[in-house]
Amino acid sequence: MSRPGRPKGEHRSAQRAGNSINPPSRSKGEHRSAQHEGSPVSVAAPGAESADLAFMRAALAIAAEAAARGEVPVGAVVVRDGAIIGRGGNSPIAHNDPTAHAEIAALRDAGRAIGNYRLPGCTLYVTLEPCAMCAGAIMHARIARLVFAARDPKTGACGSVVDLFAEARLNHHAVVTGGVDAEASAALLGAFFAARRRTEPEASPS
């Protein structure tokens, strides 16, 4: 199956940790799904768009809390049957843990909540396109649907750098929707890195 082209105005986003980058440009909401043969196609049911927006804003609130702690602002929630069962914010700096991404924290929280490491029938909402590590964890958890806001052109594993959910050789595939409230996420990331640049000491002249 041929891959659809990326939409015009697709924004740029940030890596979860490390050096600052240029703020992402804004884009309109983007919809995409897994691209391998026989993959499910994400079709919004009546009221689904408003529900996606509400849950993404819950994730954005967690991302803002991460920014207040000095972490790159990424937040995630896991939803089952219309209720949030897991929450997570980016915290690799605080925990000295390179795996402490928002998605991982939300998956762990949800697993504890239901007493199972598998999360079938659940949707994960995250404010930044997952990296390869988080995409793998999402697959292992058997998440049914992934919804993300801003794209990550440097580490994104949902089509920006690689598209693991379109890899037919992998044995689980979530339906993927991108670009939900992307402008809000891009603004949060841009403000965070702008503030970091202002507070970083200027380089000494050579």
pLDDT tens profile 151-188: 999 999 999 999 999 999 998 889 999 999 999 999 99
**Confidence at residue 172, expressed as pLDDT on a 0 to 100 scale:** 87
Residue 11 CA to residue 27 CA, distance in Å, equals 5
Q: Mean pLDDT throughout 62-71? A: 97
The DSSP letter of residue 80 is E
* pLDDT over 60 (residue 40): no
Q: What share of the chain is helix, strand, coil (3-state, %, to 5)?
A: 35, 15, 50
Residues known to be catalytic: 103
pLDDT tens profile 129-139: 999 999 999 99
Radius of gyration of the chain (CA): 16
> For residue 203, what pLDDT band results from cuts at 50, 70 and 90?
very low
55 forms beta bridges with: none
Amino acid at 192: F
Amino acid at 35: Q
Contact present, 128 and 71 (Cβ < 8 Å): no
- Pull the structure tokens for residue 74: 């990424």
**Confidence at residue 49, expressed as pLDDT on a 0 to 100 scale:** 80
Helical packing angle, 48-68 and 182-199, nearest 10°: 10
pTM value surpassing 0.95 = no
